[in-house]
Structures are given as structure tokens and as C-alpha cells.
Structure 1
Amino acid sequence: MLKKHAILSKCVVTTHPYQKDIINTKTYIITRGVKMKIVSIVGKKNTGKTSLTVKVIEELTKRGYNVASIKHSHHSIEMDKENTDTWKHKQAGANLVVGVGSTTFFNARKEHDLNRILYLLKHFDDFDFVIIEGYKSYNYPKIITSPDVKDEYTIKEVDSFTITPEEVSELADLIEERGHDIVDTLFANNCGYNDGEVIAGKIRQGELTVDDLDDVKSYLSIDGKVVGLNRFVSDYLKRSVIGVINTLNLKDFGVDDIGKIELLIPNENTPKSPADAECAIKINDKDLEINSFTRTIVSNSIKGMVSAIKTEDNVRTIDIEIMNIEKELIDADISLKTNGHDVEINEFTQGILKETIFAIISSLKVDEKIKEIKIKVEE
């Protein structure tokens, strides 16, 4: 487990502290690596936070960016007036009221964690920037309107009452340079920096840019907690999920092209750490070398797929072969054995296994054209 604020001086494959518990309850996955940039505007009361926030939003919008904003207050914020229909819904006990008309609003009784809100924004749209007014205790780049709230996350102090249009433009330039995504989702090439707090600090100081970071393909939340995924795990999840989705008749559901994927997995089983297993992979009859982290991910993915097929009660060994992949994957042959016994699988299940396993292997960056895959998993 990588400790906070650790900086690695050599290239290693590491896991985020949460990556070992991916099977936990209520898992949300979004695939599409949108590098959203977050900045907060903070200061004492009556120091012009709102007017500065409005100016910044106007400037970023004028530049063509898709902007979201979050307002934090220590007081209750009511989204609808007394005696309206939605007000009556909330008074009746609804914990979440959604009003839909010419606009849409969500009125939740509970105050949610900022990172939870930021994660949910990724479901709504591909936002370029999120401008937050308030939340001064969080670890995002801050523009301050009063000197007494200055801390290590401050990137600029501004007098909101005297700032000129030219200075607002310069401030937007700074936000473009120093804003970054949710802290725990930040990884940089798995070489040098792979701790979100450290990377965020380097971006605030101008020593790294968002363009230097890994091209993250997936975002993950478990029980409302955002979980960081490095490039390999992110790409692995994306390819695996798309592998399964490619077997479905998407056009029957009105889906012509796969853009953003949102997957909700309610899992009521008792959370437990996945057991380690030996995993050997051959590509074109040659052994593929993989490290222990990758081995664990691949073996648990294979075990999960085979478990879903419900082959035997106590599966100790799994052997999968996909052969004749020269042309279309759909025409390739596949065989499955558990505990040394052949398992009959229908055409649909064959398609899922072929698509998903091929996607998994493709995420391992195999250098040659894949013609044959052999995987053995053993407890």
C-alpha cells in the first residue's frame, strides 16, 4: 500500500489503497476519461466570493468551456418555495426531491460529501470545469478573497471588489493551468508520482500539468467513496466492461454507438478480500510475463466470470483456451475446463468470454498480433 505523500523515484506498478476491495457493495463505474478541472473560491463573509465566482464562470463559459458550479453554505439552502408541490413532497418525508420542467433540480435532505458530488457530476455531463464557492476545508486549488483563509492549497489571493476584466482573464488562465480532477483519481505514468495528494500539490505549484497525467479511462465509486484507479486498472476495467457490452444487441435498446457507460452494481454480499491465485497466460503458445498485481487482477476476473456460469461448487482450477483468432473474434473457438472437466457453454456465453478475455489481454499491451490465448488459474 502506498503511503500518503510518498514519491517514488523509479517505475513500479503500485495499487491504490482501495484497489484490493473492488468487490465491495454498491459499485459505480463510469468509462470515459474526462479530465475535469476543479477550483474553489473561498474567503470570509462579505469578501466578494459570489461576485468573483460569477465573473470566473462567465469568463470560462465565454472561452467555450462546459462549466458546473457548486455553492456551499453553512445555512440551509432551499431550492423551492413554501407550498409548492415539490416543497410538499419534501415536507411529506421524501429524502430526495427532483423537480423537472424547463430546468431540473435535485433537493436532497442530506448534506453530501464534496467528492461524492464531484463524482456524480461526471454522470450528468462532460464538464471541463467545476467552480466551487466555499468548502474551504477541502484539498482543491483555492482562490481566496481574504488573507486569513490562506493555506497550502491557495494558488491566488484576489481582491474581488477591485479586480479588472483583464485580471479576471489572467485568473481564468491560472485556473486552466492549476485546476485538477478529484484528488484520488490523479496518477502520473506510474513512474515518479502516483499519490493523488502529491500530484495535486505539484499541479498547484506549476511543476506538473493535467496533460502530464495518466489518461484515465474509468472512474469508480464504492459505497459513495471515490476510489482512485491508475492507468492499467482503469484501462482494464474499461476493456472488460466493453467486452461484455459488445455481446449485447444494443440497437434493440436504441444505442447506436457506445459513448459514456454507467454501471451500477448493488452487491449485498459480505465484503471480503479476493483470494490470491496462480495465473499463467500464454499468447500464441508463448508465456506472457505478468507481475503479481496484474496476476491477481486477471485471476480474480476469470474466477468471477466462471463463477457466474455456475459450473461447479468448488472450482480449484480453470483452463480457458481461445484459438483461431486470425480473423473475426466471433468466429474463434473457445474451450473451458474447471477442475479438469470440460464445461459446455452456449453461444451467448462463449461470446461474453471471448470478448471479455480478449479485452483483458489487450489491456496488457501485448506486442504481437494475438492468434491464440491460453489461461490457467489455480488456487
Structure 2
Amino acid sequence: MKIISVVGTKDTGKTTLVVKIVKELVNRGFKVGTIKHMHKSFDVEGRDTWKHKEAGAELVIGSADETFFLINQKLDIENLLTRSECLLNLDFMVIEGLKYSNYAKISVSSFEDEFTISKVNAKEIDDKGLKELVDLIEKRSYGILPYMDCKDCGYDSCKDMAIAAAKGETIEQVCVMKKMKELELKVDGKPIPMNPFVQTFVQNTTLGMISSLRGDALKDFESKKIELIINGGNIEKTY
């Protein structure tokens, strides 16, 4: 899943451009998700769901023609991106706002940093300009950063690699960690980076133990998704 953020000051057309980008990506056959970065709660005071949350509910679910979930905690962007990728298997995530993240950005105002791949006038961009912009997004955006800083990609840190990708100087496929997605470790839903040696060790050890077990569910287990959950007190570890 590649990530692009549309940033800018208030009333500069962020939402307008997000809608156009999403439509163009969908027209190209991609599965797209969006995140709206907000500075206030979007659960309006006095609504039924707000009352449920105020009563102490940790999870509030609204179910009608659409379904939404309210979790009584703030999740950081990495947690949101990881959960979105796992749940929906998206090709692109378009973020409105969050200008200080380390992901590729489109600026619709004067803001610019080392991750900015283009600055556009969101209210005046035409179809040709939009297609060229989405071409650039396809080429220079990249996925969730592992923050392992293993240097195997040739850069001193994951951030440096991301900056180079945003500038068009490299592609995220140089990241060794992204080549090894067969095994992931999460603690409380947050991904924990593991270098290639540790990944190989854990994977081979786990598969070796499973191969000694018996049962219909384990037939051809090498080609299936395997989950090992270790519960210890209030700690949950997922491999």
C-alpha cells in the first residue's frame, strides 16, 4: 500500500484535491482508502454514540447502511496505516492533512518540505494536470516505513530512503524489509521491525515446530496464513 498526503492551510482545496486524486486512482483500477486528519473529535457531543462513549464504552459501533467504529483512544498514523493495510488490502491510502509525517506529500499552499513531491493549485488543476499529478504519485509515493534503519538499502536511515524516493532518486523496492513481508511481529497492534536474520530465524523455527503437529487444518500449511498469538497477562504478541 502506497501513501500520499495532501497538505495545506485552511480553505486551500485539500478536500477538493483528495476527491480528484481518489477518483483518478479508482479509475485506474486501484483500491483506495482515505484518512482525514482532524484536530477535534468527530463524534458530536450529545449524539447517541457520544453518550455511549461518555458512559465508558471502549468501543462504539454505529451500524446502518454504513458501519463505523469509535475507539476511545487516539491511534498514531503508523498504527492506523498498518491496520488499514491489514484489513482492506489497499493499493493507496490518501491522507488529508498530517503535513509533518514522513510520507510523500502534495502541497496546495506555501508549505513544502523534503517529502513534498509537487505543489499545485487544487482549485484550478485541470484533467491533464491531474493525470500528470497521479502519474507522479504512482512513481514517487511509498508504503509504511519500517524504521529499522538497517542501511541495507544504501541509505543511513529509513527516513533518508523515503526522502530519496520522494525526490525520484530511488524506489521503495530497495528496502530489504519490504522484500520480507512473509512474517510480521506486532505488539498491541503495532508493528515491530525485525531485520532479515531475525525474520528468517523466527520463521524457520515456527514452521519447524508446526511441521511436527498433526491435524486437517495443518494440511499444506506452508501456503496458508499462520497466526501465533501469545497471551501473557495484559500483553498480546502476534507473529
**Structure 1 residue aligned with 2:102:** 139
**Structure 2 residue aligned with 1:107:** 70
Percent identity between the two aligned chains: 38
Write the letter of the residue equivalent to 2:16. S
Shift of 1:146: 0.3
Correspondence 1:92 to 2:55 = yes
In the aligned structure 1, how far is the partner of 2:180 from the partner of 2:46?
Answer: 41
**Structure 2 residue aligned with 1:121:** 84
CA pair 65-172 structure 1, distance change in 2 beyond 3 A: same
In the aligned structure 1, how far is the partner of 2:88 from the partner of 2:200?
Answer: 21
- Please show how residues 177-196 of structure 1 align to structure 2 within 5 Å: 177-184=139-146, 190=152, 192-193=154-155, 195-196=157-158
Give the structure with higher Rg (CA): 1
Instruction: Report if aligned partners of 1:38, 1:140 keep a CA contact under 8 Å in 2.
Output: yes
Write the letter of the residue equivalent to 1:66. K
Pairs aligned (count): 231
Write the letter of the residue equivalent to 1:195. S
**Structure 2 residue aligned with 1:209:** 171
Shift of 1:100: 4.3
How far does the alpha carbon of each residue in 1:157-198 deviate from its partner, in whole angstroms, 9 at most, with x for none? 111001112211111111111111222257788252362112
Correspondence 1:59 to 2:21 = no
Correspondence 1:68 to 2:33 = yes
SS at structure 1 position matched to 2:33? strand
Write the letter of the residue equivalent to 2:20. K
Write the letter of the residue equivalent to 2:22. I
Instruction: Report if aligned partners of 1:70, 1:133 keep a CA contact under 8 Å in 2.
Output: yes
Instruction: Identify unmatched segments of 5+ residues in structure 1.
Output: 1-35, 271-379
CA pair 56-243 structure 1, distance change in 2 beyond 3 A: farther
In the aligned structure 2, how far is the partner of 1:140 from the partner of 1:43?
Answer: 15
- Please show how residues 1-379 of structure 1 align to structure 2 within 5 Å: 36-78=1-43, 82-83=47-48, 86-147=49-110, 149-184=111-146, 190=152, 192-193=154-155, 195-214=157-176, 215-217=179-181, 218-223=183-188, 225-246=190-211, 247=213, 249=215, 251=217, 258-268=223-233
Write the letter of the residue equivalent to 2:86. H
Quote the RMSD (CA, aligned, Å).
Answer: 3.2
CA pair 58-269 structure 1, distance change in 2 beyond 3 A: closer
Write the letter of the residue equivalent to 2:61. V
In the aligned structure 1, how far is the partner of 2:108 from the partner of 2:22?
Answer: 16
Instruction: Identify unmatched segments of 5+ residues in structure 2.
Output: none
Write the letter of the residue equivalent to 1:59. E
In the aligned structure 2, how far is the partner of 1:80 from the partner of 1:237?
Answer: 47
TM-score of the superposition, structure 2-length normalised? 0.81
Shift of 1:249: 2.9
